[in-house]
């Protein structure tokens, strides 16, 4: 469980790009209890959970959005230096799309790992990131990458962030790599298998809920699609996959006990 401000090496924020942001805000308000503050300059909204900052929501159709950008949730790791991490990522086979200042809040580097999964890094200045309890209903509670090359991705992330990797088998025949920092779980990795269909490497976000089945029912009623039905993960918890009515994919998770 994470409470308070995220440390260097931890996932510190998410950025959702969605069509129809007005309808999206209504959807997440009912499903996850989110509230929203309009950002200065009307560039987007800060997502709050129980009054605490959790992430951002932005209009996919905004002028600053690069053409062809899909509806998605981007993940952000806090670092000491965005420029240094961008250079390091390139040396490890990653691709750096851009590095830029976000007003006086901080500096962001947009990176793709060697397999094509996007992950951003944030050098905090006036804005350090999320301060929400990671197990509060509606909070981002777990981050994991689906990848086409497990060995290459594992080497990239452990070298880039100094994470350690521990391979687990939560269900027979399924290998899951758990990333840790100073012994604390920070994220996970799974290999893409043919049964998943045409899935591209990406990072996914799990949001904590009090009841996965109730969340799936509510999401369906609100026009979302269930991409993975409510499923138990032995010793970990219960989760399901959801595609919002606006086309954003995410997961909801109820822990029985956090990974570690």
Of 196 and 222, the structure prediction assigns the larger pLDDT to 222
- Name the pTM for this structure: 0.95
Alpha helices in the chain (DSSP H): 21-32, 82-91, 150-161, 212-221
Question: Is a pLDDT exceeding 70 seen at residue 260?
Answer: no
- Mean predicted confidence (pLDDT) in 146-158: 97
Which H helix or E strand runs over 123?
strand 118-124
Tell me: domain 140-255, CATH 3.30.365.10, correct? no
Q: What percent of the chain has pLDDT over 90?
A: 83
- Mean predicted confidence (pLDDT) in 120-126: 96
Question: Is a pLDDT exceeding 80 seen at residue 4?
Answer: no
Residue 237 CB coordination number (10 Å): 20
In order of 162, 191, 215, the CA distances from 76 in angstroms are 16, 21, 25
CATH classification (class only), 11-124: alpha beta
pLDDT for the residue 195: 79
pLDDT for the residue 2: 62
Question: Is a pLDDT exceeding 70 seen at residue 1?
Answer: no
11-124 and 140-255 agree in CATH topology: yes
- Model confidence at 173, pLDDT cuts 50, 70, 90, reads confident
pLDDT for the residue 18: 97
Asked whether the CA dihedral 138, 141, 143, 146 is positive or negative, the reply is negative
Secondary structure (3-state) at 15 = strand
Pairing of strands 72-79, 45-49: unpaired
- Residues present in the chain in total: 260
- In the chain, what are the domain boundaries? 11-124, 140-255
Helices 212-221/21-32 angle, 10° precision: 150
Query: What pLDDT, in 10s, does the model give residues 175-209?
Result: 899 999 999 999 999 999 887 778 899 999 999 99
User: What contacts 99, CB < 8 A, 6 or more positions away?
Assistant: 82, 83, 86, 107, 108, 109, 110
Question: Is a pLDDT exceeding 60 seen at residue 240?
Answer: yes
pLDDT for the residue 61: 92
DSSP class of residue 211 equals -
Q: Which residues of 170-202 are buried (b: 16+ CB within 10 A; e: fewer)?
A: eeeeeebbbbbbeeebbbbbbbbeeeeeeeebb
Cα gap 153→173, rounded to integer Å: 20
Residue 12 CB coordination number (10 Å): 27
Q: What is the mean pLDDT of the chain?
A: 94
Residue among 128, 88, 90 at smallest CA distance from 106 = 128
pLDDT for the residue 90: 98
């Amino acid at each position: 469980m994470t409470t308070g401000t995220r440390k260097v090496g931890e996932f510190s924020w998410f950025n959702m790009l969605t069509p129809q942001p007005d309808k999206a805000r209504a959807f997440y308000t009912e499903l996850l209890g989110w509230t929203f503050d309009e950002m200065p300059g009307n560039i987007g909204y800060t997502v709050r959970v129980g009054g605490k900052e959790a992430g951002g929501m932005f209009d996919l159709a905004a002028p600053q959005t690069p053409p062809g950008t899909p509806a998605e949730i981007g993940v952000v790791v806090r670092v000491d230096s965005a420029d240094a991490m961008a250079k390091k990522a390139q040396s490890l086979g990653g691709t750096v799309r851009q590095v830029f200042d976000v007003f006086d809040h901080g500096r962001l580097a947009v990176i793709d790992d060697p397999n094509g999964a996007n992950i951003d890094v944030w050098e905090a200045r006036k804005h350090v990131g999320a301060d929400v309890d990671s197990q509060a209903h509606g909070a981002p509670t777990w981050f994991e990458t689906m990848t086409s090359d497990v060995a290459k991705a594992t080497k990239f992330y452990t070298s880039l962030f100094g994470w350690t990797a521990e391979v687990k088998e939560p269900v027979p025949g399924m290998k899951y790599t758990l990333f840790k920092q100073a012994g604390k779980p920070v994220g996970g990795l799974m290999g893409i298998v043919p049964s998943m269909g045409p899935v591209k490497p990406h990072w996914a976000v799990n949001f904590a809920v009090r009841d996965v089945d109730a969340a799936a029912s509510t999401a369906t009623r609100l026009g979302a699609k269930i991409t993975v039905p409510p499923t138990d993960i032995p010793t970990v918890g219960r989760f399901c996959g959801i595609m919002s009515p606006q086309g954003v994919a995410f997961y909801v998770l109820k822990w029985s006990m956090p990974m570690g």
